[in-house]
Amino acid sequence: MPDAANSRRLLRGARLALGAALDLFWPPVCPGCGAGLEPGDAGMFCERCRSELPLVYGRTCVRCGTPLGAFESDHEGRWCADCGRMNLVFTRTATAGMHEGPLAEVIKAWKYAPRGSRAHLGRYLAGLIADRLADPECPVRSDGFDLIVPAPSHSSRVRERGFDHTLELARHLSRLVGAPVERGNLVKLRATPQQAGLTRAERLRNLEGAFTVKHAGRLTGRRVLLLDDVITTAATAEECARVLRAAGVREVWLAAVARATVGRVAPGSIGNPAGGPEGCSRTEPERSPTEKGQP
């Protein structure tokens, strides 16, 4: 009988062989642009899309995750201009990148992918968040929260999509950072109209009373990481955080794969914000890729 270590090695070898065989019959494609990948290529993206991934590095707004520049010094270099004026319920935010280019495409592919490829994409996206949490300049530390709480979708939306995307993302992240997932406690009571095209104030009114906590005792005194896939105006996060705090949560931190770029960052210029959560008008001189924090 082979020992456990040998069994694991055999299993890994079998998985690699199966993956190589599948690549021959169903060649992998880049989720960013659809270009074919070489069989056995270990990368998620083609070389061009890898170089264009809008990942966030270094200093960001502590509260909303927007990349900061030197012009933020009037807020002690910690908050963007909008968050310096706002009193948000969640106190810290980490995002792995900006919702544009190849990253936006892979998020879309993940949410509508068949079950087999969905798990692979979900692990990749959770890995991006985990990498961001490991950045010493990230305001959210992977060892600083007690629980991961996925931002809930209404049951009708979960049935329509075929899976609970934020719960699946939370499970992948949990395995990477070691924090447990608080499943099914924060729930969405009613389906709400589409948020696209609404202002932050309209979105907050749209979401009022849409969420509740079923078992407050499991959250009392805890610091939780509220997890979502994309942050746009942060209205959903704000309402969820308000409900969590009312249930006795000590502090709410927020994490997401991506931060929406509309009204915030000029196209193709990560680290060059054009606005914060409300899309305030502010500009700064164009900077080099190194100064922007791009890989």
**Predicted pLDDT of residue 195:** 66
Handedness of CA 72, 97, 286, 262 (dihedral sign): negative
Q: pLDDT at position 265, please?
A: 39
| pLDDT at residue 168, rounded to an integer | 94
Cα dihedral angle (291, 84, 131, 162), rounded to 10 degrees? -120
- Taking only the tens place, the pLDDT of each residue in 120-171 is 889 899 999 999 999 999 999 999 999 999 999 898 888 888 889 999 999 9
Higher pLDDT, 70 or 104: 104
CA distances from 89 to 34, 206, 232, 252, 263 (A): 40, 18, 16, 7, 22
| pLDDT averaged over every residue in the chain | 76
Partners of residue 190 on adjacent β-strands: none
Residue ranges of the chain that CATH labels 3.40.50: 57-292
The CATH topology of domain 57-292 is: Rossmann fold (3.40.50)
The DSSP H or E segment spanning 223 is: strand 223-231
